[in-house]
A and B are shown apart, each in its own frame.
Chain A
Amino acid sequence: MTAARPAGGDPLLELRNISKHFGSVIALKDISTTVRAGQVTCVLGDNGAGKSTLIKILSGVFAPDAGELLFDGAPAHFGSPRKALDAGIATVYQDLAMVPLMAVWRNFFLGSEPTKGWGPLRVFDRATARRVTRAELAGMGIDIRDTDQPVGTLSGGERQSVAIARAVHFGARLLILDEPTSALGVKQAGVVLRYIVQARERGLGVIFITHNPQHAYPVGDRFLILKRGRSLGDFAKSEISRDEMTQLMAGGTELEELGHELDRVAGDDPAMGAVAEQITAEAVAKGPDGPAVDGPAAPG
């Protein structure tokens, strides 16, 4: 599937044994993966797996304590988010970096406004801003009714889409998406997934952070699965199936335990008992847990 696209080749970004501690807490330990142009690398993990720490390292907020970050094959040290941005790494945060009360076109160019004129008469080129916003959104297949409407009136999916279109327009080569689908309904999430594919088709490298394997599997080319700050594996799509991935993330043993626990809580309540039975059955069906990880790892 990946071979069908012209992009690929050398990794855009390579992580080699990245670790990060906060005092005695090990947030990340020995994380390695690669991102290629025109590919989507999904980072999966439950809450506390270390996903947020990983994003912050990639977007220049934190420096890793150990390990290497290679951008375009050369060791990279991003001292600040601005430097990462200048290098072409754009992060679309969960809080989106958009101002709800401002018009879509004002938000689109916020911080990088086009200007015309000279000296004190240099003004914000509003005509260009409006035109480019409209064209860029249309180019990504994003259909916004009116670029003059405040961003606050857009739906969550639409906002994510505008943020992605903005990053693409400003020359991002690597797009980091922090849980872009987590707060969205099924349909809206589908819309955002489509834009992820769009960005990939345009030759961008994409890091898609999510806790939802149903969202990750259809768009991903590579999957890094984190748990409690450690890597459960870094797989190409051909190496893992969706069910294996889900099982790896959820942890079969833990589901089984949850089933027993609910059994105890349920007592005589037949409805609750049925739920517990189902969970236990599911856990058994999925077989043994993935690679053992419940060692001394600290919460991420």
Chain B
Amino acid sequence: MTIAAAPPATDERVARTGLLRRLLVKPELGSLIGALLVFTFFAVLSDVFRSTSGVANWLDPASTIGIMAVAVALLMIGGQFDLSAGVTTGTAGLTTAILTTHYHLVLWVAMAVSLAVCLGIGFVNGYLVMRTRLPSFIITLGTFLMLQGLNLGLTKVITDTVSVGGISSEPYYETAHKIFASTITINGQPFEIAIVWWIVATVVASYVLLRTRFGNWIFAVGGDVNASRNVGVPARRTTITLFMGVSGAAWFVGTTQVIRLTSVQANSGFGLELTYIVAAVIGGCLLTGGFGSAVGASLGALIFGMTSQGIVYAGWDSDWFKFFLGAMLLLAVLSNQLVRRYAEQSRR
């Protein structure tokens, strides 16, 4: 190969890009600014909000939403939606609870079966989307409704109620509790361990997205699936893995909740799928795929947690929460739109 003399490491024209413009195309920038603004806003309004107990309180909802939002963000960067993500957390909890309390399976076995069921749901979602080439919005809307019906129907048939409890008296519950639902005391204030898992999930997802081949494929299948197929990216495998990542995360969050609360409602998780998508979009994910970040989605979840608790601390009616969230979402999509236009703009 005849490569000419190595070019200089930097081109003198690169400087023209400007720091501001470079920052603007970072997908997490908007959500970082948003998180800082929301924190400042509520911290000024309420002392409790910025106290250690307050922080522990708003980090808790942020953590479980965050674990899901990170997985959903990767899927969205891969160009797909999963509307069944919320209800799958319910399916995970219900499967574990019913298998232990009604079929007397050992907790670990029940959890393993539940994991297999969840990964199966993800596989079916991904397979159907890739096979039919229909929008994932429609496919997962279908699985969402089916799971919703199954969760309620099967729970009623098996247990005659719409709530399954009593998991705390099962053997090995204490060990599972340590992993999924214990607390870590810092400064005299217990913090849920889910916060640690949330940070781990964010770091792992970011690493996968930015540092691995698979991460490159995620951006590629989301950006242009035909182009990526043309250069040999295994688009089907990538997409199915992403769907299974979401349903795996749903298993983790569902398990966390059933272990923490020791019981689970048959309608658990309904409606949360939109929350995850909103968090991912606030975090800079484009609805059209190919762009976004795991850190951003985590910050989106943080904004979610801070707003939901902050409104309570500020002494407002919690009805305002939805309004805030909607406004945040609109701001986020508008700024994402600008970023995309800049990124795709051609300098012919």
Q: Mark B231-242 against chain A: 1 for CB-CB distance below 8 A, else 0.
A: 111000000000
**Chain B count of residues within 8 A CB distance of the other chain:** 37
Inside 8 A of A81's CB, which chain B residues have their CB?
Answer: 230
- CB of A152 within 8 A of CB of B227, answer no
Q: Contact check: which of B213, B226, B227 meets A115 at CB < 8 Å?
A: B213
Known: A102-B290, A136-B3. A111 touches B233 (CB 8 A): yes
Interface residues on A, range: 35 or more
Distance to closest chain A CB from B244 (angstroms) = 17
Known: A106-B219, A135-B6. A99 touches B346 (CB 8 A): no
Interface flag for B223 (CB, 8 Å): yes
Stretch at the interface among B10-18, B67-75, B89-97, B268-276: B10-18
Inside 8 A of B219's CB, which chain A residues have their CB?
Answer: 99, 101-102, 106
Q: Contact check: which of B213, B290, B347 meets A101 at CB < 8 Å?
A: B290
Inside 8 A of A96's CB, which chain B residues have their CB?
Answer: 227
Closest to A120 in B: B212
- CB of B226 within 8 A of CB of A95, answer yes
Q: Contact check: which of B7, B25, B213, B227 meets A124 at CB < 8 Å?
A: B213
- CB of B291 within 8 A of CB of A106, answer no
Q: Is the interface of A mostly helix, strand, loop or mixed?
A: loop
Inside 8 A of A145's CB, which chain B residues have their CB?
Answer: 11, 13-14
- CB of A146 within 8 A of CB of B14, answer yes
Q: How far is the CA of A63 from the CA of B147 in the complex (A)?
A: 45
Interface flag for B159 (CB, 8 Å): no
Q: Contact check: which of A110, A123, A152, A153 meets B212 at CB < 8 Å?
A: A123
Interface flag for B215 (CB, 8 Å): yes
- CB of A138 within 8 A of CB of B213, answer no
Inside 8 A of A110's CB, which chain B residues have their CB?
Answer: 216-217, 220, 228, 231, 233
Inside 8 A of A202's CB, which chain B residues have their CB?
Answer: 2
- CB of B4 within 8 A of CB of A100, answer no
Distance to closest chain A CB from B205 (angstroms) = 14
- CB of B11 within 8 A of CB of A112, answer no
Interface flag for B102 (CB, 8 Å): no
Inside 8 A of B212's CB, which chain A residues have their CB?
Answer: 122-124
- CB of A111 within 8 A of CB of B348, answer no
- CB of B216 within 8 A of CB of A106, answer yes
Inside 8 A of A100's CB, which chain B residues have their CB?
Answer: 223-224, 343-344
- CB of A82 within 8 A of CB of B232, answer yes
Please provide the chain A residues from 137 to 155 with a CB less than 8 Å away from any CB of chain B in the complex: 138-139, 141, 145-146, 149-150, 152-155
Q: How far is the CA of A152 from the CA of B345 in the complex (A)?
A: 6
Interface flag for B211 (CB, 8 Å): yes
Inside 8 A of A155's CB, which chain B residues have their CB?
Answer: 346-348
Interface residues of B (CB under 8 A from A): 1-4, 6-7, 11, 13-14, 17, 25, 211-213, 215-217, 219-220, 223-224, 226-228, 230-233, 290-291, 340, 343-348
